[in-house]
Amino acid sequence: MKMDVEGWVDGARRVPSPNFDARPAGAAIALLVIHSISLPPGEFGGPGVTELFSNRLDPKAHPYYATIHELRVSSHFFIRRDGELIQFVSCDARAWHAGASSWREQGNCNDFSIGVELEGCDDRRFTAKQYHKLAALTRGLRLRYPLTGVAGHSDIAPGRKTDPGPRFDWKRYLALAQAAFLYSPLP
């Protein structure tokens, strides 16, 4: 996958999020964080995720939305079940996806990571199209950024987060991405 000079991936649908800011001066992008999300929980295909990340989630559209519509969160990417790639934030900017987090004894993972949300949940398998798109994205990102690791949200925020969950097949993903040395689970 190719990326333009401003950190946007060619071919990804752009849904710009206001939920980002500048990375700290000198921060090298070293980590890829894999998440999973579905809105409403356990349901796929709707506009909930794009609406959440663009601050347009209607609290009346679903009872769960009333509890989260004021969150100001984002991710760089979202990969739908059919493999569609959506980008919310330039990779050069800091998306707000990791929250309280730590990797290799360095806190504030948003400062030095790229976040990828997969449309899914802990109790369902991800699709072949998602694995292939994630692998292609990973290979493309590694051409531009000095990624030295990949981790699940659960790895950088243990006890607080469980995604991408036990149904995410790390071995399959890493084989497709040709990046077996990258995975950095909890120490």
pLDDT tens digit string along 68-104?
Answer: 999 999 999 999 999 999 999 999 999 999 999 999 9
pLDDT higher than 50, residue 28: yes
Cα–Cα distances in Å, from 150 out to 41, 67, 138, 162, 185? 25, 30, 9, 15, 8
Q: Which CATH architecture has domain 13-182?
A: 3-Layer(aba) Sandwich (3.40)
pLDDT higher than 50, residue 186: no
Q: pTM for this structure?
A: 0.95
**What's residue 97's pLDDT?**
98
Tell me the C-alpha distance between 168 and 121, whole Å. Answer: 9
117 classed as catalytic = yes
**What's residue 182's pLDDT?**
62
Q: Which of 43, 70, 105, 117 is catalytic?
A: 117
Share of the chain above pLDDT 90, in %: 93
Cα–Cα distances in Å, from 131 out to 64, 70, 151? 28, 31, 15
pLDDT tens digit string along 131-162?
Answer: 999 999 999 999 999 899 999 999 999 999 99
pLDDT tens digit string along 47-62?
Answer: 999 999 999 999 999 9
Burial 101-111 (b: 16+ CB within 10 A, else e): bebeeeebbbb
Within a 13 Å sphere around the CA of 180, how many CA atoms are in the beta-carbon half? 3
**What's residue 178's pLDDT?**
83
Cα–Cα distances in Å, from 47 out to 4, 25, 99, 168? 26, 34, 23, 23
Burial 122-151 (b: 16+ CB within 10 A, else e): eeeebbeebbebbbbbbebbbebbebbbbb
